[in-house]
Amino acid sequence: MADPLQEPVIRSAIQALALSPGSRGLDVGCGIGLQSLLLAESVGGAGQVTGIDLSPEFMVYATGIAEKAGMSEQVSFQEGDVKSLPFDDDTFDWAWSANCVGYAPGEPLPMLKELARVVKPGGSVVVIAWSSQQMLPGYPLLEAHLNATSPGIAPFSREMRPELHFLRMAGWFREAGLEEITVRTFAGDVCAPLSNDIRSALIALLEMRWTGVQPELSEDDWAEFQRLCLPESPDFILNLLDYYAFYTYSMFRGRVPRVNVSDGV
């Protein structure tokens, strides 16, 4: 059940992290566990990954996926809330969160502090999320209007403080006491001819990205949206022989401060 759009980009991001073989990590907001498996692959058979999510249904499903992949000894799942992680201090070598911490509405600081609490000194806290896309080649004005709608800027909203935008995450990392903060953006792309899997994933993305936009569009934009973005339209944009699109994920990484021996700690 891999996501053909997301998986290649996430793999690139995980590879760039160069997680230590045999390390123990936490995947926060793991959903059905697909990224937990990718993270487990990166730390090798001696490593361990724990996934947590608020949904008990997801945890049951994720456990089944891990079993089918033959990774149930390496990956485990449990219900948990990032606002109050069910782990002792300094439990993990690193913590990862995708499209969750700092991306959903709410103050990132308490969540980042919780991640830092359960990671050992010198370990990494990593958050990554979808950050941009260009999906309507040849129609930049329409895409700009769509991206300016409330659904288009979700999970951000006009009422939120600018510093709560995901791309301001470095500041929240500093507020949480993390050090050596780095940011990288990873791009994925698709080009016609599209495989059935890619086409299906793009249709699902179009439906998710700009759902409920009609009230905020002009009549002309709404007509153009229906013409280009609905699969039943004869002018559906994915039917273009020269279709090309790209999308990005941005990843923030910080380190938990190391213990200073001179402090006598």
Give the model's pLDDT for residue 259. Answer: 78
Q: Which residue type, as a one-letter code, is found at position 97?
A: S
Mean residue pLDDT of the chain comes to 94
Q: Name the percent of the chain in helix, strand, coil, to the closest 5.
A: 40, 25, 35
C-alpha triplet 101, 106, 110: angle, nearest 5°: 65
Which tens digits make up the pLDDT trace of 19-77? Answer: 999 999 999 999 999 999 999 999 999 999 999 999 999 999 999 999 999 999 999 99
Does the bond joining 155 to the residue before it have cis omega, within 30 degrees of 0? Answer: yes
CATH superfamily of 6-258: Vaccinia Virus protein VP39 (3.40.50.150)
When pLDDT is cut at 50, 70 and 90, the band that residue 262 belongs to is low
Give the model's pLDDT for residue 263. Answer: 47
Task: List Cα–Cα distances, 212 to 112, 215, 216, 252, in angstroms.
Answer: 32, 7, 9, 30
Say whether pLDDT at 115 is over 70.
yes
Least Cα distance to 147 among 231, 156, 138, 244 occurs for 156
Mean pLDDT of 213-232: 97
Say whether pLDDT at 4 is over 90.
yes
Give the residues across from 81 on adjacent strands: 84
Give the model's pLDDT for residue 105. Answer: 75
Percent of the chain with pLDDT over 70: 97
Mean pLDDT of 102-118: 91
Beta strands in the chain (DSSP E): 24-28, 48-53, 75-79, 92-98, 119-134, 179-191, 244-255
When pLDDT is cut at 50, 70 and 90, the band that residue 79 belongs to is very high
Exposed e or buried b per residue across 163-189, where buried means at least 16 C-beta atoms within 10 angstroms of its C-beta: ebebeebeebbeebebeebeeeebebe
Least Cα distance to 95 among 185, 33, 27 occurs for 27
Give the model's pLDDT for residue 101. Answer: 92
66-75, 140-149, 254-263, range with the lowest pLDDT: 254-263
The torsion defined by the Cα of 8, 9, 10 and 16, in degrees rounded to 10, comes to: 110
* Cα 12 to Cα 111: distance, rounded to the nearest angstrom: 25
Per-domain residue ranges of the chain: 6-258
